Structure 1
Amino acid sequence: MERILTSTVRPILQMQEFIEAVTFYHYLKSNVLESWINIQKEFVYNVGESTNEQDGAEIKAFDENKQEKECTPEESAIETSSEKSHITTLLIPSDYFLGIGDLTGELMRKCINNLGSGNIEGCYQTSAFVREIYKGFLSIGNVAKEMSRKVYTLRQSLNKMENACYTIHVRGSEIPKHMLADVLSSSHDDMMDEDEGFY
């Protein structure tokens, strides 16, 4: 039996922050964007009445004659499988996309931090990754006010990263690596961050 839990009052911001954290973790780990389907699988929970499952140990059971008999964990699992059910918490796709919008702000900070540590190639990779996310967001269109704010913030973050890559490409040879972040921050002081929260 499978049940899908939804609620009219959802902790929207917390879900978006969760998506941001999970996708940022997977980007740092393997340089990929974790898909909605894979994250949705994490919201499927197995529940059941039996709580005495043991791994690798033999489980003692009693037959109708009150005599003790030995059964393996596999046999016990077969006996209790009918009592188990699945609960699925629905991850709404719009929450996933809004969380990805928040992720791009973290990636922009990572790109600038890469410059501070002298990792110029990492800055180029992160910028290209965010550019692909931006292309995907453009294909979604303007579906909601909150989505348009995320796209606006995403465009600002991408502009900062592309300007950083441009500055490195043009002036990289004349600026020491340990000073790149300072030069970029001083040249972008006039570009203010758009608030990612609610107004």
Structure 2
Amino acid sequence: MASTHPQRILIIEDQPEGHRLLGRIVDELFAPATRDHAPDLAQAEPCLYNAYDLVLCDLRLPDGLSLGWIERYRRLHPDAWLVVSTLYDDDDLVFASLRAGADGYLLKTDPPELLQDTLSRLVRGEPPMSPTIARKVLVHFRGQAPDTPRPQPDIDTEGLEQLSPREQEVLTLIAQGLSAKMVAGELQTSRYTVNDQIKSIYRKLGVRNRAEATAQAMRMGLVDLG
């Protein structure tokens, strides 16, 4: 991920009131960060090539769903925070967004104070997800009904064996919330090397973003985030 205090922010949002709300929240959280705005996919297209630290992206825009844009931006900028901001909480869109490369998922129906608190988590390296969405993700990855006791998971040794010792180190650190730059400092290597290792980890494990990678790290016994 990019610096945990974003300096450059892009908001892709077609509704003026939604743009004003998100703009106010990011200004309060991340000032003096600069922010750009695109009201649709056509105007977001040139932004694909700009290295933002944080992108807040609506899902349903006047000229289509933004899933393809999210996937393309993730490939070009693997270290950015990509957060969906939408009215829709159905499972298909939630997990399609995560597969496309989103790190977080905010519901615009949440109170502004909750939205601000949720988004502030990225400063600590935590994926920002509205509580309703976080519960969906946890239930999905644990493979159980919401009201059943959580079993102690078996260690995924097969997944662990796919990774080199250095890749296991990198996965452990990013699952703990460190950005690629911070991992590079911790392991005394270059950020570019770490980015390549993250891409390799994602490919080997079949994951698309930090949330899925963290879930895999938990299953492998590399981290325990409760």
TM-score interval w.r.t. the shorter chain? Answer: 0.3 to 0.5
Q: Which has the higher helix share?
A: 1
Tell me the TM-score normalised to structure 1 length.
0.34
Higher relative contact order (CA 8 A, sep 6+): 1
